[in-house]
Amino acid sequence: MRKLRKVSRRGIFVFAALVFTALGTAFAADIPEDLKCMVCGKPALSDFAVDWNGGKVYLACPNCKASFAGDKKSYAPLANIQLIATRQAKQITCPLTGKKASAANTVTIKGIKVRFCCNNCKGKAASLKEKEQLQLVFSNEAFKKAYKVTAADTVE
């Protein structure tokens, strides 16, 4: 009878270890493999996730996490792009006016298709250099106006 108990306890321990390993692997796989750190450009890791605008952004190392924390304002557009790229955020309205966005008025910025309400907004964004586009379309003000982060839209 005692031998059976030891086997059962050992079996439970092995089972628990397998479950924790599987869970750790599942959570680590939540980030797309090609996701890059906005600070250094190296692969982003789940170990260095930071809460941002209702979602999570992923960085490469403790130094990048410290850099981001020390200068959130300048990293805001890139952090907001990461929320969109990881499908944590979806565009709801035009980032310039907050009005209904149209698929007919789209500009691709940093690989993200951004919809605008009209040709004027589209033209304004399209005429700018990339750095100015990022600030105009993905600043915190524009992000809060045009995008929504929901629990159902977590990284896949």
Q: Percentage of residues in the chain with pLDDT exceeding 90?
A: 74
Q: State CA 113 to chain mean position distance.
A: 15
Token pair listed for 13: 């321990």
User: Is residue 115 within 8 Å of 99, Cβ to Cβ?
Assistant: no
Dihedral sign (CA 109, 155, 100, 78): negative
- Which pLDDT score, from 0 to 100, does residue 8 have? 56
Q: Averaged over 11-38, what is the pLDDT?
A: 58
79, with CB counted inside 10 A (0-12, 13-18, 19+), is buried
> Residues 6 or more apart from 49 whose CB is under 8 A from it?
56, 57, 58, 59
**How many CB atoms within 10 Å of residue 134?**
19
- The stretch 28-57 carries a mean pLDDT of 90
Q: What is the pLDDT, as a whole number, of residue 95?
A: 98
pLDDT in tens, 50-85: 999 999 999 999 999 999 999 999 999 999 999 999
Contact 101, 116 (CB under 8 A): yes
Q: What is the pLDDT of residues 132-156, one digit of tens each?
A: 999 999 999 999 999 999 854 444 4
